[in-house]
Amino acid sequence: MSQSAPKRPNILVRASYALLRLGVGLAVFAYDYAFRIWFMSLIQFRLPWKRALSSPKVGRAAALEALLNQDPAYGKHRLFEVDGNTYHCVESGSSSGKLILLLHGFPQCWYSWRHQLKEFGNTSDYHVVAVDLKGYGGSFKPTASDEYTPYRFAEDIEKIVRALGHDTCILVGHDWGGIIAWYCAALRPAFIEKLAIINAPHPAVMGRNIALRNPNVSMWESLKQLYISRYIAVIQLPWPFHTIYMTWRNYEWVRVAASDVGQAAPEDVDTYVSSFALPGVASCSSAYYRSLLKPGASIDAPIHVPTVVIWGNQDIALREEVCLTGLEDIVEDLQICIIDGATHFCPESSHQRVNHLLREFIQKGNDIETSET
- 240 vs 319, more confident: 319
Q: What is the pLDDT of residue 348?
A: 96
The CATH code of domain 24-366 reads 3.40.50.1820
pLDDT at 173 over 50: yes
**15-19 long-range contacts, CB within 8 A, separation 24+:** none
Q: Looking at 22-26, 87-91, 299-303, 349-353, which range is the least confident one?
A: 22-26
177-192 pLDDT, tens digit each: 999 999 999 999 999 9
Q: What is the pLDDT of residue 251?
A: 86
pLDDT at 237 over 70: yes
In the structure, what pLDDT confidence band is assigned to residue 48 with cuts at 50, 70 and 90? Answer: very low
Q: Looking at 131-145, 227-241, 327-341, which range is the least confident one?
A: 227-241
Write the CA distances from 237 to 30, 232, 240, integer angstroms: 15, 9, 8
Please answer whether residues 175 and 347 qualify as being in contact, where contact means their C-beta atoms are separated by less than 8 angstroms: no
Considering the chain, what percentage of its residues have pLDDT values greater than 70?
80
Positive or negative torsion for Cα 126, 335, 184, 277: negative
Positive or negative torsion for Cα 72, 74, 80, 86: negative
Q: What is the pLDDT of residue 236?
A: 84
Q: What is the pLDDT of residue 244?
A: 83
User: Pairing state of beta strands 85-93 and 126-131?
Assistant: antiparallel
In the structure, what pLDDT confidence band is assigned to residue 60 with cuts at 50, 70 and 90? Answer: low
Q: What is the pLDDT of residue 160?
A: 99
How large is the average pLDDT for residues 288-311? 90
Q: What is the pLDDT of residue 47?
A: 39
Residue 22: count of CB within 10 angstroms of its CB? 10
pLDDT at 119 over 50: yes
Task: Return d(Cα 59, Cα 44) in angstroms, integer.
Answer: 28
State pTM to two decimals.
Answer: 0.85
- Judged on CB neighbours under 10 Å (0-12, 13-18, 19+), 160 is buried
Q: What is the pLDDT of residue 362?
A: 96
Give 58's Cβ-side CA count (13 Å radius).
25
Task: Return d(Cα 99, Cα 101) in angstroms, integer.
Answer: 6
In the structure, what pLDDT confidence band is assigned to residue 10 with cuts at 50, 70 and 90? Answer: low
Task: Return d(Cα 363, Cα 103) in angstroms, integer.
Answer: 20
Domain boundaries, the chain: 24-366
pLDDT at 209 over 60: yes
pLDDT at 59 over 80: no
Which residues are bridge partners to 131 per DSSP? 89, 103
Q: What is the pLDDT of residue 40?
A: 47
248-274 pLDDT, tens digit each: 888 888 888 888 877 888 888 888 998
- 46 vs 359, more confident: 359
Task: Return d(Cα 12, Cα 18) in angstroms, integer.
Answer: 10
In the structure, what pLDDT confidence band is assigned to residue 235 with cuts at 50, 70 and 90? Answer: confident
pLDDT at 39 over 80: no
Sequence letter at residue 252: E
Q: Looking at 56-65, 272-281, 318-327, 338-347, which range is the least confident one?
A: 56-65
Write the CA distances from 275 to 49, 108, 180, 191, 258, integer angstroms: 20, 8, 20, 30, 11
How large is the average pLDDT for residues 62-83? 81
